[in-house]
Chains A and B, each alone.
Chain A
Amino acid sequence: MTLSLGFFYIAAAFVIFGGLGVVLTRNIIYAAFALLISMVGIAGIFLLAFAEFLALVQLLIYGGAVVIVVLFALMLTRIEDFRNLSDNKQWPLAGVIALCLFAVLAASAIFSPVPTFDREGVGISELGETLFTYWAVPFEVASLVLLVALIGAVVLVRRSDHNEEVQEEGQE
């Protein structure tokens, strides 16, 4: 048991328990915060894989933007009773399937080992260089995707007179 393995287990605990929180809790606000914890844990994992830049990005984007956006969504949709949200009718079946999936994936990972080298990371400069030269086109496309998402989101939630009436009715 080396130090890094210990740290790994701690970070993994954050991740897993955060995930459990997201999927199991009855209080939806707790779920949002569990998500945050999970993200932080994942950032820790990234650090252990020598992906510092990615850990940073993870914290910024997920921990910062994503969770906030989710909270906003929760707020805007006024969950009827966000303290006591039950699960679906089919949660046992979902549990079974999820467990089966986990079993298959884990088993395949254990029983088909991939030849590995020593653990090493990739520096930021190298990442940046590759990203802007070799992967330039996908990069530009990704930015385009972001643009489209931005505009699309704005268009989707834009109110017109027709929607206003419906929302009035919905609130009654």
Chain B
Amino acid sequence: MNLGHIVGAEFAWLIPGLCLTAFVITLVFGKFLPGRGSYISIAAILGAFLLFCSVFLDFVSNGLTPVSVDIQWIYIGDLGITWGFQVDRISVVMLGLVTLISLIVQVYSVGYMDGEPRFGWYFTLQALFAAAMLVLVLADNLLFLYIAWELVGLGSYLLIGFWYERRSASEAAKKAFITTRIGDVGLLIGIILLFKATGTFHISSIIHAANSGGISENTLICASLLIFLGAMGKSAQFPFHVWLPDAMEGPTPVSALIHAATMVVAGVYLVARMLPLFEMAPGVLPTVAVVGLFTFLFAGSIALVMTDIKRVLAYSTVSHLGLMMISLGAAGLAAAMIHLVAHGVSKALLFLGAGNVMHGMNNETNCLNMGGLQKKMPITAYSFMIGALSLAGIAPLAGFFSKDEILLAVFHKMGPIFLTLTLIGVFLSSLYMARLFLIVFRGNYRTERAKKAEESPAIMTVPIVVLAIFAVTLGAVVIPIANYQGLGTFIDASHHFRMLSWLTVMSSLIAICGMAVGWLYYGTSRLSPEKMSLRLGAFYRVIINKYYVDEIYQWVIDNLILAFSKFLAVFDRVVVNDTGIDGAGMSVLLSAIKVRLIHTGRLYNYSTAMVFGLLTVAIFWWFI
């Protein structure tokens, strides 16, 4: 049954191509189309998803050999810059994730953004983003990837600042763009370093060159760290995490798509792609793991005290991205990718559920104003619960298997201390998920508005249910059955699916513990969170102010950067412009004003000059 021959893997470039076409069409004709362009965009992404299925089947039936297509673009001397698309193990996984989540989110958006005046523009942006992200996933050379990287950042900026009439939204969009930009500089320098060392942008060629020792160790270390810097920016690792919570100013489906499932994992994907390079540079992988671990714990602690439902989910995303980085740092490529997929599905589910809650609560996001919503919106509540359990890592949901794989990799590579800290993070993860669910959906109605909340229309609940089903079944894909060796081996051929029983048991226990503690604090009134916060006092204040990171950044900007900018501005105006450029011109003018006075117009002055000249000639003539 060769369904793969419907569309072969070499036509993978059609997938982003469809979305790009949809972008252009909705950009130009959006107002005149039925549904203001939303149908075109959804049709394109649906087509993309179906294409993905076909490409996937073709890829599998060809024995998982990578397929790449190169379209020549420009030649600069010997260097040819191509648009290269490569379908291989990890890119095909990402392809599926991106198309599926995009499809679900866009369908959901039709309901969520109903009544929005700029409805068509929203779908135009969604199409742009989908196209850019798909290109990023398929790119086989670093330059093309960088272009897509920037385009994805642009899409994120436009979508975060979608309601730009709100000051906070436009500020958040700016913050996101600038913060990721800092990382992008590192990425660009890293790419250029690699180009200088190997003469090509092509990823496979670079890895091949590094394998055969063609790149010096210093270059490898520098380039890897710089590329990781770019990944840190995009994937919101500490200290670049500050943009992600603020990005919640955008519409909730945008948060679900971009800041849970697709864009933020671009960083993880990049590191995964370049992992062979990172492995060869000593000290890089431990750095990656340490940064990831710090982010995991840091963001997890903040998520514990946030009261805005979207902020909790945002910090949770940051935290789990840290977990993915830990996995990559432990050279657990398969584990990281599995968690990427599992987290993507679960977090998208959670965000869309939050969107439903906000929709029913008239855009209220403070979860202290909610409570008891399970009775009012049962579908949302149960789906949300599934997402929360999956993220906490309870079996047999998707999150359990991915967490297990990560812990396995950490245990094998990073030692017991690391493992302990990671387990603390796991505990935090399940604790704050339980807290969130219980505050929002259980207990008594805290406000009048909560009493009047209703379930959302079908167009918004069906996507959530679909995601919940995926969250439940994805776990099974990881386990090897018969000839199928499991998702892990699919991703990374050197991976073997194993379960270390004591580790699995311990991690499950910790997760359940977290749930239990959450239940104790928030589900019943046995323990009081208020008393706990009072007891912790100053420590609590630090966490709830997000460790004052934003304030530190603002101080640096105000006192260091802006002061330097002022100095540069003055220097530019005074030295470069007034003296250098104007000066050259003005010197002519000013000297002319002085020299002009030689022309007095008076006869005797001219005569004097003539005689003086005569005198000089006479003297010279006589002496010489």
The residues of A with any CB-CB pair to B shorter than 8 Å are 88, 90, 93-94, 97-98, 100-101, 104-105, 107-108, 112
The residues of B with any CB-CB pair to A shorter than 8 Å are 604-605, 608, 611-612, 614-615, 618-619, 622
The answer to whether A101 touches B604 (Cβ under 8 A) is no
* Also in contact, A105 and B612, with CB within 8 A (given A88-B604, A90-B605): no
The answer to whether A104 touches B622 (Cβ under 8 A) is yes
Contact pick for A97, options B612, B619, B622, CB 8 Å: B612
Cβ distance B614 to chain A, nearest Cβ, rounded Å: 7
The answer to whether A93 touches B608 (Cβ under 8 A) is yes
Q: How far is the CA of A104 from the CA of B605 in the complex (A)?
A: 21
Contact pick for A101, options B605, B611, B622, CB 8 Å: B611
Q: CB-CB < 8 A to A97: which residues of B?
A: 608, 611-612, 615
Q: How far is the CA of A105 from the CA of B617 in the complex (A)?
A: 12
Q: How far is the CA of A105 from the CA of B611 in the complex (A)?
A: 13
Apart from A97-B615, A104-B622, 4 more pairs, CB < 8 Å: A94-B604, A101-B611, A105-B618, A108-B622
How many A-B residue pairs lie within 8 Å, measured between CB atoms? 26
The answer to whether B615 touches A100 (Cβ under 8 A) is yes
Q: CB-CB < 8 A to A98: which residues of B?
A: 611
Q: CB-CB < 8 A to A101: which residues of B?
A: 611, 614-615, 618
The answer to whether B618 touches A104 (Cβ under 8 A) is yes
Question: Nearest chain-B residue to A104 (Cβ)?
Answer: B618
Q: How far is the CA of A99 from the CA of B611 in the complex (A)?
A: 12
Q: CB-CB < 8 A to B612: which residues of A?
A: 97
In the assembled complex, 26 residue pairs joining A and B whose CB atoms fall closer than 8 Å, in A order, are: A88-B604, A90-B604, A90-B605, A90-B608, A93-B608, A94-B604, A94-B608, A97-B608, A97-B611, A97-B612, A97-B615, A98-B611, A100-B615, A101-B611, A101-B614, A101-B615, A101-B618, A104-B615, A104-B618, A104-B619, A104-B622, A105-B618, A107-B622, A108-B618, A108-B622, A112-B622
Cβ distance A44 to chain B, nearest Cβ, rounded Å: 28
Q: CB-CB < 8 A to B619: which residues of A?
A: 104
Question: Nearest chain-B residue to A89 (Cβ)?
Answer: B604
Q: CB-CB < 8 A to B604: which residues of A?
A: 88, 90, 94
Cβ distance B604 to chain A, nearest Cβ, rounded Å: 5
Cβ distance A87 to chain B, nearest Cβ, rounded Å: 10
Question: Nearest chain-B residue to A87 (Cβ)?
Answer: B604
Q: CB-CB < 8 A to A105: which residues of B?
A: 618
Q: CB-CB < 8 A to B605: which residues of A?
A: 90
Q: CB-CB < 8 A to A90: which residues of B?
A: 604-605, 608
Cβ distance A108 to chain B, nearest Cβ, rounded Å: 5
Question: Nearest chain-B residue to A98 (Cβ)?
Answer: B611
Interface centre among A94, A101, A104, A105 (most CB of B within 10 A): A104
10 closest A-B pairs by CB:
A104-B618, A108-B622, A101-B615, A88-B604, A97-B611, A100-B615, A104-B619, A97-B612, A90-B604, A104-B615
Cβ distance B483 to chain A, nearest Cβ, rounded Å: 113
Q: How far is the CA of A104 from the CA of B619 in the complex (A)?
A: 7
Q: CB-CB < 8 A to B614: which residues of A?
A: 101
Q: How far is the CA of A101 from the CA of B612 in the complex (A)?
A: 9
Cβ distance A125 to chain B, nearest Cβ, rounded Å: 38
Q: CB-CB < 8 A to B608: which residues of A?
A: 90, 93-94, 97
Question: Nearest chain-A residue to B603 (Cβ)?
Answer: A88
Interface centre among A101, A105, A112 (most CB of B within 10 A): A101
Q: How far is the CA of A112 from the CA of B623 in the complex (A)?
A: 12
Q: How far is the CA of A100 from the CA of B613 in the complex (A)?
A: 12
Q: CB-CB < 8 A to B618: which residues of A?
A: 101, 104-105, 108
Q: CB-CB < 8 A to B622: which residues of A?
A: 104, 107-108, 112
Q: How far is the CA of A108 from the CA of B614 in the complex (A)?
A: 14
Question: Nearest chain-B residue to A97 (Cβ)?
Answer: B611
Question: Nearest chain-A residue to B619 (Cβ)?
Answer: A104
Q: How far is the CA of A97 from the CA of B612 in the complex (A)?
A: 7
Q: CB-CB < 8 A to B611: which residues of A?
A: 97-98, 101
Q: How far is the CA of A94 from the CA of B618 in the complex (A)?
A: 17
